[in-house]
Structure 1
Amino acid sequence: MAPNLQTTGPLRVFVTGATGYIGSTAIDLLLHKGTTPSLYSLRALVRSPKKASLILPLGIEPILGSLDDLALLEQESAQADVVLSFADADHLPSIQAILRGLSQRPRPDGGRKRPILIHTSGTGVLLDNAYGAYGTETIYYDNDLAKLNSLAPSQPHRNVDLEIISPALVGLVDTYIVAPPTIWGQGTGPGNHTSIQIPLQVRASLLHSQAMQLGQGLNVWSKIHVIDLAHLYLSLLERALQEPQDDSITGTLPKNQDAYYFCQEGEDFSYGDVAKEIAKAFKDLGINDSGTVRGTKPEEESALWLEGAAGSIGGNSRSRAIKAREILGWVPEFKDFAGYIHDEIKRQLKEQGRRR
């Protein structure tokens, strides 16, 4: 369904993180829709002329700056109908600046009265401190508002998310939070095409020529392919634009204090499962014939892993995307998670110039 823009020209969209893994893939998908040039006018924050050169040929106007340029973020947001936030999920000052700008945006007669913020968080907000020692039966559903409201402010990303779901924004800004789990697959578009979590485990394993896991690898996560995730962003954007602009009419799309949208596909996995796939691939590739996995203790982390490994792949984080499926009609398509792990090993070997 084409969005009802209720404006006299293209919708003004300001993007942060447009050349990152998620943002690049979502923007690429958006640009491949034939109606995009007439419906959307895109501006994107970029940190360098090199990154600007990636998006300028695509018809996106680059704005040089960083998330620390708060006055610039506020100014750009105040001129936007929509802000798509794909950048750092933990950069609180930038989100505060974006929200200030959106809240101050003029509310024109006949135009879009309430701007939209679609922000990227992550299901790190659900994490425990298992360090691979145990799994969990605890699953968070994005339509269980009471349980989501019980998340502590100290959880990862939560301080930023709390700004976005503030009751003070109701009626001023329509806010939505997309919280992906482990993201896998090769991205597309004008920028980074590589994920974080699985590549981190593969990189540590290649460094030691041994499949590696934190602790016993029993901790469990949900997962999603980056292209399926990008489709969710577009579905959410198009549906959000259908929300009524008459303040006396209540819309039907959950937002603001009910802003979370999860995006999971298929069965959950343990990071021990990933280590076993790495061990299998190492045996096939002649890197390590043992087919075994090495579990590391917390005190070994700094010596054997890249910084932040425990926070990325050590705990449990299980989520279910009820809203996306039931309200947006979103259906993920990519299934070959194990194949991706093997492909990621080969990609990193090629990147390192190692032949197998």
Structure 2
Amino acid sequence: MSSGKNVFIIGPGFIGWCVLDLLVSEGYSVSGLVRRKEHADGIQQSGATAVMGSLDDKSLITEHTAKNDITIHTATADHLPSVEAVLEGVRQRVRNGRNAIFIHTSGTSILDDGANGEYKGDRIYYDNKPEEIDALDDNAPHRQVDLAIVRSRKELGSQAKMVIMTPPEIYGWNPKHRRLTIQFPVLSRFAIKHGYAGHVGKGLSVESQIHVLDLARAYIVLLHWLEKTAPEEVQKNPYFFCENGKEFSWREGAEELGKALFEAGKIDSPEPRTIPEDLYKDLFGDFTSAVIGLNSRSRAVRLREMGWEPREKGIWESFRQDELPAILAEDHSNFSGYKGTVAS
């Protein structure tokens, strides 16, 4: 059980709500920043306190960060103002002589090699080698936000414990929340609209993967490590990957989606096809290649050293049993691509 510590979660949605449940079960006092009353009602039923606001409410985020022992950001990995607001709240805590823990959620799109689906990359990144991650291009996806945290770590030194969780492709289903991930549901909606399952380029690029419930448990393992570990040790390396030891190619993904949707009577053939660039608007727009055409191969060495292990079902079993029924129940008549940002 916890020692009565307070946690502020920014964006308790697909990832963060699962983390919230685990924190509440361990006795933490949890509040979550949400935009909609329906969502506020949901997290309150889970035992948390709702804070109504948006990622652009910088003063509100700073205020609640400063009031809480722990802040966890699980909203978009690309919203710099909200992260800057957290960092200001952390500074306020430090100035007042109080400890602070901040876990930010990035994504392994930082590893994007520009493959556009044309080849399987050889490069694998390990989170116990921070120098390799530090060497990534400053303009890589999510990197602007990550670097703001890295700079603040240097500024505050051992006075604050701040780390970056960097998951790959996240899949899975929490039946209590009934929320979907992003990439494969979007590809499924695209397939239903256009009549085929598709991939970027040749679909040869590969990515690591993690079930959302395994990821949620990883946040708790990481938090417990931060709580008991000396600041000087935390300061050595800000990066944590989280993957289940398996990878998939995006063509493999299109093949699995094609078979499942064909069997469901939603498309006429299970054979995957290359998606023409003029239809990227029905996927992730200009970011399509960076979202579903990248090589992104990561290894979670550090979490495994802490005793964390993945234990949930595999990605395709999960898709067929859990995500696909929810996707098929949707109204797809107005689908025109995903308009938000994608963490991995």
Pair 1:71 & 2:59 matched:
yes
Q: Name the residue aligned to 1:297.
A: 276
Distance in 2 separating the partners of 1:200 and 1:130: 20
Equivalent residue letter for 2:288: A
TM-score by length of 1: 0.86
Deviation at 1:297, TM superposition (A): 3.2
Secondary structure of 1:105's partner? helix
Equivalent residue letter for 1:24: W
Deviation at 1:114, TM superposition (A): 2.4
Deviation at 1:188, TM superposition (A): 5.2
Distance in 2 separating the partners of 1:314 and 1:23: 26
Secondary structure of 2:199's partner? strand
Pairwise CA RMSD of aligned residues? 2.2
Contact 2:192/2:267, CA 8 A, preserved across alignment: no
Identical-pair percentage: 36
From 54, 66, 70, give the equivalent of 1:82.
70
Deviation at 1:173, TM superposition (A): 1.4
Distance of aligned partners of 1:353 and 1:275 in 2 relative to their CA distance in 1, 3 Å threshold: closer
Distance in 1 separating the partners of 2:29 and 2:315: 35
Q: Name the residue aligned to 1:163.
A: 148
Secondary structure of 1:176's partner? strand
Q: Name the residue aligned to 1:127.
A: 112
Deviations 1:317-353, CA, capped at 9 Å, x for gaps = 1100000001x21100124222223243332112239
Q: Name the residue aligned to 1:29.
A: 22
Max Rg structure: 1
Gapped runs of 5+ residues in structure 2? 334-344
Distance in 1 separating the partners of 2:237 and 2:175: 30
From 175, 179, 185, give the equivalent of 1:199.
185
Secondary structure of 2:115's partner? coil
From 21, 44, 62, give the equivalent of 1:56.
44
Distance in 2 separating the partners of 1:47 and 1:259: 29
Distance in 2 separating the partners of 1:193 and 1:300: 26
Distance in 1 separating the partners of 2:43 and 2:283: 34
Deviations 1:17-40, CA, capped at 9 Å, x for gaps = 11x10001111222233xx1xxx2
Aligned residues: 329
Equivalent residue letter for 1:268: E
Distance in 2 separating the partners of 1:188 and 1:318: 29
Equivalent residue letter for 1:342: R
Q: Name the residue aligned to 2:260.
A: 281
Distance in 1 separating the partners of 2:37 and 2:164: 29
TM-score by length of 2: 0.89
Secondary structure of 1:170's partner? helix
Distance in 1 separating the partners of 2:283 and 2:36: 30
- Superposed, 1:94-113 pairs within 5 Å as 94-105=82-93, 113=98
Distance of aligned partners of 1:52 and 1:300 in 2 relative to their CA distance in 1, 3 Å threshold: closer
Secondary structure of 1:98's partner? helix
Equivalent residue letter for 1:305: L
Distance of aligned partners of 1:283 and 1:93 in 2 relative to their CA distance in 1, 3 Å threshold: closer
Contact 1:131/1:298, CA 8 A, preserved across alignment: no
Q: Structure 1 residues 116-125 or 342-351, which shifts more?
A: 342-351
Distance in 1 separating the partners of 2:19 and 2:180: 14
- Superposed, 1:258-273 pairs within 5 Å as 258-273=237-252
Secondary structure of 2:6's partner? strand
Distance in 1 separating the partners of 2:102 and 2:175: 23
Pair 1:242 & 2:228 matched:
yes
Deviation at 1:80, TM superposition (A): 1.4
Distance of aligned partners of 1:300 and 1:54 in 2 relative to their CA distance in 1, 3 Å threshold: closer
Distance in 2 separating the partners of 1:181 and 1:289: 31
Equivalent residue letter for 1:347: A
Q: Name the residue aligned to 1:209.
A: 195
Deviation at 1:57, TM superposition (A): 3.3
Distance of aligned partners of 1:192 and 1:21 in 2 relative to their CA distance in 1, 3 Å threshold: farther
Equivalent residue letter for 1:280: K
Q: Name the residue aligned to 2:298.
A: 319
Secondary structure of 1:241's partner? helix
